[in-house]
């Protein structure tokens, strides 16, 4: 029997030169340039869904929308809605409905547990609530996303979520923007948090491209297991 296809997973993150995605206070990271924002929008414009963790939403209170006219026109010509589906991953489902995210003009889905879904069953903030059985089976979830028409998923953080997706083997490529600053701090989050990988089990990458724009470096990697 042929295995059901899963969604393609792409991680897109900006980090400091020492590999941090936020400072030790976990403040909103806004150190990327205009070019980096355009780069993220470009990747989102090619996606059907944007996946991010509850911690990322709590930090920013919003999500990044596609705003560039040429990218919006590109999606229109391809028969896609202006914005991809924005999927919040929260096992508890404890999210403040007053976040500005819930007023933004984007389609919103929630990925949560059966318990976390209870608080949203009679509300209109999310168009769809997906229930993940604990422990989360990401391969099955990415198959479900593909079956729902979301063939390409862009993951924008945070580090715990990215670590889980890498461990599950559902990430196919990684874009990293290296920004010209040093944040430091043992408690500052990195692109891949969680427990980490032993060296002999570490995911291996193939560098596909490296581009320098100003003082930033844009790196694109493929996961070797995904090639």
> What residue ranges do the domains of the chain occupy?
8-226
- The pLDDT score that the predictor gives to residue 177 is 97
pLDDT at 80 over 70: yes
Tally Cβ neighbours within 10 Å of residue 6: 21
pLDDT at 151 over 60: yes
Which residue, chain included where needed, has tokens 């701090």?
Answer: 185
- The pLDDT score that the predictor gives to residue 118 is 93
- The pLDDT score that the predictor gives to residue 225 is 75
Tell me how far apart the alpha carbons of residues 118 and 93 are, in angstroms, rounded to a whole number. Answer: 8
Residue 211 pairs in a beta bridge with: 218
The confidence band for 44, taking pLDDT boundaries of 50, 70 and 90, is very high
The answer to whether the beta carbons of residues 55 and 20 sit under 8 Å apart is no
The confidence band for 2, taking pLDDT boundaries of 50, 70 and 90, is low
Burial class (CB in 10 A: 0-12, 13-18, 19+), 54: buried
* Domain 8-226 superfamily per CATH: Dihydrofolate Reductase, subunit A (3.40.430.10)
């Amino acid at each position: 029997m042929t295995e059901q296809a899963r969604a393609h997973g792409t991680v897109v993150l900006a980090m400091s030169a020492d590999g941090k995605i936020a400072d030790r206070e976990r403040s909103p990271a806004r150190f990327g340039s205009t070019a980096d924002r355009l780069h993220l929008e470009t990747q989102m414009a090619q996606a059907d869904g944007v996946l991010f963790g509850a911690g990322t939403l709590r930090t920013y209170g919003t999500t990044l929308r596609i705003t560039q006219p040429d990218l919006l026109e590109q999606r229109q010509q391809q028969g896609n809605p202006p914005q991809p589906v924005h999927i919040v991953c929260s096992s508890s489902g404890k999210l403040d409905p007053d976040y500005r995210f819930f007023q933004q003009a984007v389609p919103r889905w929630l990925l949560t547990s059966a318990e976390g879904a209870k608080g949203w069953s009679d509300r209109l903030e999310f168009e769809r609530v997906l229930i993940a059985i604990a422990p989360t089976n990401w391969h099955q979830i990415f198959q479900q996303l593909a079956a729902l028409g979301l063939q390409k998923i862009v993951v924008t953080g945070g580090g715990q979520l990215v670590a889980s997706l890498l461990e599950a083997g559902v990430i196919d490529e990684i874009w990293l923007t290296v920004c010209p600053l040093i944040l430091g701090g043992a408690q500052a989050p990195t692109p891949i948090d969680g427990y980490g990988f032993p060296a002999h089990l570490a995911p291996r990458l193939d560098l596909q491209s490296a581009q320098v724009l100003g003082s930033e470096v844009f790196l694109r990697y493929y996961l070797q297991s995904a090639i």
